[in-house]
Amino acid sequence: MVLDNNLGNSQIQTKVVRQKQLAEKIVIVDGQPGCGKTMLSPIIASFDRVELLSYAFEVEFICRLFDLNKIDSDAAVAMVKMLVDHKLYQTMMGRDTNFRYSDLSSVFQDSNPWRYFKRIFQKGDMTIPDRIQNERPILNLTTHNLLSISDPIFSALGDSVLLIEMVRHPLYMVKQQKLNMDRLVDNARDIQINIEYQGHQLPYYAHGWEDHFLNCNSMDKAIYSIDKATKESNLKRDILVKNGKFKFLTIPFEKFVIDPWLYLKEIEEQLETKVSRRTNKAMKKQNVPREILADAPSFEIYERCGWESPSEDSEENELTKRRDMVAKHSSLEALRIMDRLSQEYFHDYLA
């Protein structure tokens, strides 16, 4: 059946709204694949009142559809409000909570898992709004490449949301993104927004460079994707900084894993909460602080996404090894882009 959008002026002019809000505080940890989001989110989850890491794919879908002009602004804003409140309500009810043992978003990976077992047996439904008001939980969401299309987020949630952008050296992200190209593009397991181009189904991030995407190998696709996402995020970050209206924080992975406390203090202040006795345990689990940047915990999911134990005796040698890997699989043009991205990242965050 073909849906007809021309259903009459009364329906076209109807505005979708949600005026009340359950979630008082929300933290969103965002960034490109491989940037360290799932290192930071569990640490934040150890703060007082902060909930466990939860992926917000539905919010991503809404923002992507809005960016593609496939959904009106009022509907996007109202749906973000609804989805955030629904996620908090379900979490406080003990519903839709991940009990799969090995998942990064699992209750068993959280620093305080027993609260989620308790909720299974607590009263729910009508008691939830009062519990939210009394306990003041902070929803902890993780998203992918959302910063550049975050207008529906800030319009919906205003100063109740803190958006944290994780950034990382592109040579540390490219392997995972190449594997994503190999394993997920045009795969039914990848439940993501896709676009149609000349009979091809392409991922949303190929919008604007469709021909190039179709003609690239997986390494080049990863490099061009990183370049595009970085440019768009840089532009949006500048706008947010100049605006000064919303709560926004950029954290370079390399600086955080060496000396995290300055950033944790800022997150405390922005969320109006405190680190807890569980925070050191959560940081130890993530090998933070660490002496070698690549020295992540050997979680199965990290290994599946391309992580390897560092084999070099210095960070400079580790980067050289990673660039050699890129050069082996990329075109000369894409390698030049990777070198530019590396130089720009060093200048912006590490110099």
pTM of the predicted protein model: 0.90
Collect all residues with Cβ–Cβ distance below 8 Å to 196 and sequence separation of at least 6.
202
Q: What percent of the chain has pLDDT over 90?
A: 83
What is the average pLDDT across 34-55?
96
Question: Given this model, what pLDDT does residue 219 score?
Answer: 97
Q: Which residue has the tokens 């569990």?
A: 42
Q: Measured in whole angstroms, how far is the alpha carbon of residue 311 from the centre of its chain? A: 28
Residue 275 has pLDDT above 90, yes or no: yes
Look at residue 277 and tell me whether its pLDDT is greater than 80.
Answer: yes
b (16+ CB within 10 A) / e for 68-103: eeebeeebbbbbbbbbbbbbbbebbbbeebbeeeee
**pLDDT tens, 62-102?**
999 999 999 999 999 999 999 999 999 999 999 999 999 99
Residue 260 and residue 41: Cα distance in Å, rounded? 13
Three-state DSSP state, 135: helix
Strand partners, 162: 27, 247
The CA distance from 186 to 167, in Å, is 27
Task: Give backbone dihedrals phi and psi of 247, rounded to 5 degrees, phi first.
Answer: -85, 115
Tell me how far apart the alpha carbons of residues 2 and 8 are, in angstroms, rounded to a whole number.
16
61-72: per-residue pLDDT in tens? 999 999 999 999
317 pLDDT tier (thresholds 50, 70, 90): confident
What's the DSSP call for residue 122?
S
Give the mean pLDDT of 129-135.
95
CA distances from 49 to 44, 52, 111, 322 (A): 10, 10, 12, 39
Reading the block at residue 255, the tokens are 């600086």
Question: Which SS3 state, helix, strand or coil, does residue 133 take?
Answer: helix
- Residue position matching structure tokens 């690239």: 216
DSSP state of 186: T
Give the pLDDT mean for 191-220.
95
Q: What are 11-32's pLDDT values in tens digits?
A: 568 999 999 999 999 999 999 9
The confidence score (pLDDT) of residue 299 equals: 43
Residue 187: pLDDT band by 50, 70, 90 thresholds? confident
Q: At what angle do helices 170-183 and 218-243 cross, to 10 degrees?
A: 120
Q: Could you tell me the maximum CA-CA distance found in the chain, to the nearest angstrom? A: 68
Banded pLDDT at 309 (limits 50, 70, 90): low
Whole-number pLDDT of residue 296: 52
Q: What is the mean pLDDT of the chain?
A: 91
Band of pLDDT at residue 297, cut at 50, 70 and 90: low
What's the average model confidence in pLDDT over 252-272?
A: 96
Local confidence band at 305 (pLDDT 50, 70, 90 cut-offs): very low
- When pLDDT is cut at 50, 70 and 90, the band that residue 184 belongs to is confident
Contact 220, 256 (CB under 8 A): no
Structure tokens at 339: 């070198």
Q: Phi, psi (5° rounding) for residue 314?
A: -150, 160
Beta strands in 185-289 (DSSP E): 194-197, 200-203, 247-252
The 3-class secondary structure across 2-54, one letter per residue, is CCCCCCCHHHHCCCCCCCCCCCCEEEEEECCCCCCHHHHHHHHCCCCCECCCE
Please state, in angstroms and rounded to a whole number, the distance separating the CA atoms of residues 194 and 175. 22
Give the mean pLDDT of 30-54: 96
Per-residue pLDDT band at 302 (split at 50, 70, 90):
very low
For the chain, the distance separating the N- and C-terminal CA atoms, rounded to the nearest angstrom, is 58
More confident residue, 291 or 114: 114
Q: Which runs of E-coded beta strand occur in the chain? A: 25-30, 54-55, 138-142, 161-167, 194-197, 200-203, 247-252
Q: How confident is the model at residue 306 (pLDDT cuts 50, 70, 90)?
A: very low
Average pLDDT over residues 252-278: 96
> Per-residue pLDDT for 118 more than 70?
yes
Tell me which residue of 29, 30, 26, 28 sits closest to 49, measured CA to CA. Answer: 26
Q: In angstroms, rounded to a whole number, what is the distance separating the alpha carbons of residues 100 and 106? A: 6
* pLDDT band per the 50, 70, 90 thresholds, residue 214: very high
pLDDT given at position 290: 87
